Amino acid sequence: MTYGNLIIGQSGGATAVINASLVGAVEEALRDGRVDEIYGMRYGIEGLLREEIIDLRQQPADLWPRLLNTPAAALGTCRYKLRDDDPQRVVDLFRRYNIRCLLYIGGNDSADTAHRVAQAAQRDGYELRAISVPKTIDNDLPYTDHCPGYGSAARFIALATMDSAMNTITMPTHYPVKVIETMGRNAGWLAASSALGKHAEDDPPHIILMPEQRFNADRFLAQIEAVYRRLGYAVVVVSEAVQDEAGQPLGAVGQAGTDAFQHPLLSGAAQYLVDIVTKQLKVRARFDKPGDLQRMASNSISHTDRQEAYLVGQMGARALLDGEHDKMVTLVRHTEPEYHCTTDLAALERIANEQRVIPEAYLSEDKTMVTPAFYDYALPLIGDPLPRHAALATTRIIRL
């Protein structure tokens, strides 16, 4: 098979380290030298269908080290579900540009896109190699230990929880109940990371609500009241995708439609919890929603996450050039002599549109807190140790 030209795309929600995967792929392709041209698709597969293609070989050499530390998607990204005739249109474009290698950086839906294009090329008799490079803060791709992008987002959420909770602790009579809402489609990995700065039972967060457990209002209110009576305040972290016992998302009150893949665009879980705490417990409450900051805050990039994002991009390009096809790069964890990852490959047909939720072993019995096993899993991913905030001794002076 001829190597022809390579094209790289970025897809789905951008992260703080998705560009590291792009840099890893480009630098490996340049080093290897077997592909002719190296192209980039602007705004993912959607831009490709408009023939928005740029020449990555013509970029200045000093761009790549700077891009390594730049958040968001340098190529531009999209959420676009292929229509029935789109895969063949993509193959036709590849034939026109002599593109024989496709590297697509993204999550579940992006894996599906790469797989469908690979199948279309095979049906058409066009020689094409397609590799998916994992990326998602949701950390829900199967067959990989974890997903690049998660470590940095987890670090941000852990720090945001610690810092926001300090305001509640120092002014508990103002808004004694704080609710922090995280992203996370159907798995609670990101919400769970809010506990990574927690060292004792009374440290925030006190309750974590994740999609792995259906929400029961009475149970939740009883837990909040118990914490509030004991400490005078309570901090809750909730995933935007938590559902009630009828399967209705708590955030449906603020639902803003669906994306191209029919995933609901939710907004309202934190507001819902604030409302029921205020009405049922007669306690003032407020919420924080970090929004896009949790995806790409450059001040919270985990060096481990960035290195692994580069690695999967690099190994994705190498896999293509070594003849692999219709697969996704995966991370394989090792703990000896210390934590590090190597890579492997998994068939895209096993990954596309599949999701991995948090294992039972990582959650407490009532599924509102994490276990030590989760700390063992997640702490190596967030890079440098989190700070430990100081607190004054509060022994009161009594004059007789």
The encoded tokens of residue 158 equal 């852990």
Query: How many residues would you count in the chain?
Result: 400
| Contacts (Cβ under 8 Å, ≥6 apart) of 256 | 265, 266, 267
Q: What is the DSSP letter of 266?
A: -
Question: Residue 200: phi, psi to the nearest 5?
Answer: -135, 160
Contact (CB, 8 A) for 77 and 12: yes
**Local structure of 326: helix, strand or coil:** coil
Quote the longest CA-to-CA distance of the chain.
94
Task: Check: CB of residue 9 under 8 Å from CB of residue 316.
Answer: no
Catalytic residue among 138, 140, 305, 326: 138
Reading the block at residue 297, the tokens are 């805050």
Identify whether the C-beta of residue 177 lies closer than 8 Å to the C-beta of residue 206: no
CA neighbours closer than 13 Å in the CB half-sphere of residue 257 = 3
Q: What angle do CA 135, 137, 142 make, to 5 degrees?
A: 60
d(CA 205, CA 178): 9
List alpha helices for the chain, DSSP H.
18-32, 44-48, 63-67, 86-96, 108-124, 150-170, 189-192, 217-231, 269-276, 293-296, 303-321, 372-378
Coil/strand/helix, residue 104: strand
Residues facing 333 on adjacent strands:
341
Would you call 138 a catalytic residue per the annotation? Answer: yes
Point out the residues that are catalytic.
138
